[in-house]
Amino acid sequence: MDYTANVKHLVRSLSRPSGAPLACLVVMVALRDAQPVWEIGDLVSATGYEAEAVKKARRVLIDLGLAAGTGPAGRYGLRLTDAQAAQLPLGDLFQPDSNSEVGKTYLPHSSSSSSSSIQLASEKELPLLPPQTDGRSEKPTSRPEHPDLARLAEILCNQIGGVDRSLARQAVQQELDRDYSANWIEHQILKWWAYAESPRGQSIHAVGRFVARKIEHDETAPYTQRPSFDRYHEKDWNAWSADFQTTLYRIEELDRQLKQETEEP
């Protein structure tokens, strides 16, 4: 059986949001023989994470089945499950040595365990813990804004209207993230607008939000043109053709440009 997907899910769960779950797990595995039961204060001292981050890490480890709670109703301490304690070999990197005072690591004092010391087998073999932080995720680095993002969002906000700027930018950004060209996105915006305002879109009321949602969900717009004969909506089609004459010309222009883009080697 291929366990790759399960392993990736486990790593993502342990590493988010701050790396505290992974740090707590490494400490508990490495020191499982010296201190089988850990309290929140112990893990705060051992990992450097704040109490709130360690409490969240405790819940992650329990939910993943890597650890179990101790105390009344399992609400206080934390210990490795028997299965995990037997399978994870990280503790083999540590060897007890009560005679040496150099390189000792001391366990924090707690009411549930006594202070012990262990000698690292080798400085080069130390497990790497995540860097100590305040328990909060670091903000991702901002990426430069696409040069056409504002222009395309303005079509939704000002030319069509009825949609707030944040939703308009979000919808356009989704399409840009899918590697669509600016011409394609503008083409789809205008075609959905023409459809929604035509007699075929009479049941659509919030046109701006309707178009933005269609763009956000990557739905391809139908090609809307005046039918050769529609006696029931003749006046509506005449009004639509007059109101959207400039927009229909722009759609045709974009049609030609997109066709040229696909034909270029």
State the pLDDT confidence band at 235, using cuts at 50, 70 and 90: confident
The 8-class DSSP code of residue 17 comes to S
Residue 114 pLDDT exceeds 50: no
Residue 113 pLDDT exceeds 70: no
| Angle of CA points 108, 112, 116, to nearest 5° | 40
- Per residue in 35-88, pLDDT tens? 888 888 888 888 888 888 888 888 888 877 788 877 665 566 788 876 655 555
Confidence (pLDDT) at 111: 42
For the chain, which residues make up each domain, given as ranges?
4-125, 149-263
Residue 229 pLDDT exceeds 60: yes
Structure token digits, residue 190: 């205008």
More confident site: 167 or 130: 167
8 A C-beta contact, residue 38 and residue 77: yes
- Residue 53 three-state SS: helix
Residue 218 pLDDT exceeds 50: yes
State the pLDDT confidence band at 95, using cuts at 50, 70 and 90: very low
Residue 107 pLDDT exceeds 80: no
Mean pLDDT of the chain: 74
d(CA 82, CA 195): 63
Residue 13 pLDDT exceeds 80: no
Average the pLDDT over each of 62-66, 90-94, 149-153, 210-214 and give the range with the smallest value.
90-94
The pTM score is 0.47
Confidence (pLDDT) at 167: 93
Peptide bond into 147 cis (omega under 30): no
Residue 5 pLDDT exceeds 60: no
Topology of domain 4-125 in CATH is Arc Repressor Mutant, subunit A (1.10.10)
